[in-house]
């Protein structure tokens, strides 16, 4: 079987590369492979930050509709959790994750980008949740992650209409975080990841978990999560290195192990 997702690791950065031409349609095999690779990079000490990348032309144009068309209610009930689990595995990678978005990121492709911590999009990128045009709704987290990111009314506009947005509008909505020329997307995403790969791994994990878990609860519980991580990091070598470097050399010069 042809591998539709690849993992390359170098210098602390793991690149999860979708490779199912021409549009990186997210069939079941690709979804399951995404979950496997998300679990792999989560456990690998040599991966400290992650890039999700669809290639120079397209991020992912959505689910494999031909595969989905033949599924009845019972089949989707059986598959729905596996679909969501694949995307949730990406969202729960306990390391910084950046999506490098070129071309189309529609439906499941948009939902995959939503699972990243940061999104860098090409000037020619188009994003959206067009599932309503097929008579269904987003099923891989779009109705949950999109409103948490851009707010409920803006998310409902995209989900209700199914319309695509160009990169500039996606930036104004907060759907992406940076827009750059198409030939710079991967380089800038990799540079973002490479910079964080040199940071304090446990503190970055704590920061991500505190933000993500805190968003799902009340402020007091969120502060308790933050407090636990903050105090716990005082037991790490990175905390000793960081504070010693600050006192002796000034800010931003620590070399974390």
Six token digits for residue 5: 């997702």
CA distance 64 to 246: 51
Q: Name residues whose C-beta falls within 8 Å of residue 136's C-beta, 6 or more positions apart in sequence.
A: none
Are 208 and 117 spatial neighbours (Cβ–Cβ below 8 Å)?
yes
CA distance 153 to 48: 35
Selecting among 36, 56, 123, 131, the annotated active-site residue is 131
Q: Where are the beta strands (DSSP E) in 160-256?
A: 164-166, 178-180
Does the active-site annotation cover 131?
yes
Does the active-site annotation cover 184?
no
Cis peptide before 22 (omega within 30 of 0): yes
> How many Cβ atoms are within 10 Å of 21's Cβ, its own excluded?
11
Are 128 and 176 spatial neighbours (Cβ–Cβ below 8 Å)?
no
User: Which residue do the tokens 């045009």 mark?
Assistant: 133
Are 192 and 201 spatial neighbours (Cβ–Cβ below 8 Å)?
no
- Find, among 85, 87, 137, 81, the residue nearest to 111 by Cα: 87
Selecting among 8, 56, 111, 123, the annotated active-site residue is 111
- Find, among 216, 206, 246, the residue nearest to 96 by Cα: 206
Q: Please measure the distance between the N-terminal and C-terminal CA atoms of the chain and give it in whole angstroms.
A: 39
Supply the residues annotated as catalytic.
Answer: 111, 131
């Amino acid at each position: 079987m042809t591998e539709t997702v690849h993992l390359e690791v170098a210098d602390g950065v793991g690149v999860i590369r979708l490779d199912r031409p021409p549009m990186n349609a997210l069939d079941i095999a690709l979804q399951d492979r995404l979950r496997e690779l998300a679990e792999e990079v989560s456990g690998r000490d040599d991966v400290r930050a992650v890039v999700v990348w669809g290639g120079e032309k397209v991020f992912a144009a959505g689910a494999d509709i031909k595969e989905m068309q033949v599924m009845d209610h019972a089949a989707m009930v059986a598959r729905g959790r596996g679909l969501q689990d694949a995307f949730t595995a990406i969202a729960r990678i306990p390391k910084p994750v950046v999506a490098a978005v070129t071309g189309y990121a529609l439906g499941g492709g948009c939902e995959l980008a939503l699972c990243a911590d940061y999104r860098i999009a090409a000037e020619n990128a188009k994003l959206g949740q067009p599932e309503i045009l097929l008579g269904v709704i987003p099923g891989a987290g779009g109705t949950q992650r999109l409103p948490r990111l851009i707010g409920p009314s803006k998310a409902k506009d995209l989900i209700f209409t199914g319309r695509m947005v160009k990169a500039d509008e996606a930036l104004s909505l907060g759907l992406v975080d940076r827009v750059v020329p198409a030939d710079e997307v991967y380089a800038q995403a990799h540079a973002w990841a490479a910079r964080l790969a040199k940071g304090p791994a446990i503190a970055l994990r704590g920061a991500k978990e505190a933000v993500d878990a805190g968003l799902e609860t009340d402020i007091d519980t969120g502060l308790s999560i933050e407090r636990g991580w903050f105090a716990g990091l005082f037991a790490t070598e990175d905390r000793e290195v960081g504070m010693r470097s600050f006192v002796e050399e000034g800010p931003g010069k620590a070399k974390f192990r």
